[in-house]
Amino acid sequence: MTKARATLLGFGAVLMWALLALLTVKTVPIPPLQLTSMSFVIGGSLGLCWVIFAGEAQSLKTVSWKIYAFGTVGLFGYHFLYFSALRLAPAAEAGLIAYLWPLLIVLLSGILPEERLKSGHVLGGLVGFAGAALIVTQGQTSFETDAILGYCLALLCAVTWSSYSVISRRLGQTPTSSVVVFCLGTAILSAIAHLGLETTVWPDQISVWLAVIGLGVGPVGLAFFVWDVGVKRGDIQLLGVASYAAPLLSTFVLVAAGIADLTWTLFAASVLVTLGAVFAARASQSTT
């Protein structure tokens, strides 16, 4: 597989994550950790079916338990820390800090032996983050000192996902089929956390079940498999910057669905995210 094709597949995850907000809204009032568990059960089960029918089941036996532990901690840790941050801090500010992960991917990629971090990558990441900040905060922020724990968890959330993505690059020989175990392990840990922290609420409408299934198939299913391909074989720096398109596209989806309004911040964010991607793409081209 070429680097360009792997990068394109990785961006497919970003496109699927753009549906995350809409589908999550449709799953109200299911608690977040319960929803995470349900979605990962679906995503992991579908992935397992694919692995079996593709004749890749044997490949799962070649993977070390340490890698399985690493992947499960990465997926579960990100989601658990994110939802915990939202419980302890204002959603906009916590979400903004959590969305440092694309920029951190760009910066951390500089430690990879086969990668060359250029100023264009960093500039693109910073500009993209500015665009995401407009989307998440709607141009208004008010950090509260008594929510410091929530902000710290949000930062740890960003570090967890960026580290998972960059370290996955070093595990390039690990088959993507291993993500099946990551997903199912995350489903189990999320279920345990849910039982300890939340009250179970089962969907009572077919539309809610369809939204849960949609999450499991796309944003919390296939997305993690193509992301694995992208960060292992694609342009990880370009993918990091391009990931800032997720909150932007997500907002456009909400606008199209009549859930959010079209505002000036959306247009400003569009320009910033696009510019960030252009800077990163040019930097990547100059290294080849």
Q: How many helices (H) and strands (E) does the chain have?
A: 14, 0
Q: In sequence order, what are the residues at sequence separation of 6 or more whose Cβ sits closer than 8 angstroms to the Cβ of residue 144?
A: 89, 90, 93
Q: In sequence order, what are the residues at sequence separation of 6 or more whose Cβ sits closer than 8 angstroms to the Cβ of residue 22?
A: 250, 253, 254, 257, 259
For the stretch 178-189, pLDDT in tens is 999 999 999 999
Burial of 105 (0-12, 13-18, 19+ CB in 10 A): buried
Give the SS3 label for residue 278. Answer: helix
Distance of CA 117 to the CA centre of its chain: 22
280 compared with 126, residue with greater pLDDT: 126
Domain housing 279: 3-286
Residue located via tokens 């999320």: 190
Residue 14 pLDDT > 90: yes
Separation CA 35–CA 22 (nearest Å): 14
pLDDT of residue 145: 75
Are 80 and 190 within 8 A, CB to CB? yes
Separation CA 211–CA 253 (nearest Å): 15
pLDDT of residue 144: 73
Look over the chain and give the mean of its residue pLDDT values, rounded to a whole number.
89
Are 38 and 148 within 8 A, CB to CB? no
pLDDT average, residue stretch 149-162: 93
Share above pLDDT 70 across residues of the chain, in percent, rounded to a whole number: 97
pLDDT average, residue stretch 131-147: 75
What are the contacts of 119-123 at 24+ separation with CB within 8 A? Answer: 119/283, 120/279, 120/280, 120/282, 120/283, 120/284, 120/286, 121/237, 121/238, 121/240, 121/241, 121/279, 121/280, 121/283, 121/284, 123/276, 123/279
pLDDT of residue 276: 85
> CB atoms < 10 A from the CB of 255, how many?
14
Distance of CA 42 to the CA centre of its chain: 17
Q: In sequence order, what are the residues at sequence separation of 6 or more whose Cβ sits closer than 8 angstroms to the Cβ of residue 252?
A: 18, 266
For the stretch 264-286, pLDDT in tens is 888 888 888 888 888 887 887 76
Q: Which two tokens stand for residue 34?
A: 């319960």
For the stretch 26-54, pLDDT in tens is 998 999 999 999 999 999 999 999 999 98
For the stretch 69-92, pLDDT in tens is 999 999 999 999 999 998 888 877
Phi, psi of 18 (to 5 degrees): -65, -20
- CB-side neighbour CA atoms (13 Å) of 180: 19
pLDDT of residue 116: 77
| Number of domains into which the chain is organized | 1
Residue 193 pLDDT > 90: yes
- Least confident segment among 22-26, 146-150, 222-226: 146-150
pLDDT of residue 266: 80
Q: DSSP label at 269?
A: H
Between 223-233 and 179-197, two packed helices, what is the crossing angle to 10 degrees?
Answer: 130
Q: Which of 54, 65, 62 is nearest to 175 (CA)?
A: 62
For the stretch 221-274, pLDDT in tens is 999 999 999 999 999 988 988 898 888 888 888 888 888 788 888 888 888 888
Residue 204 pLDDT > 80: yes
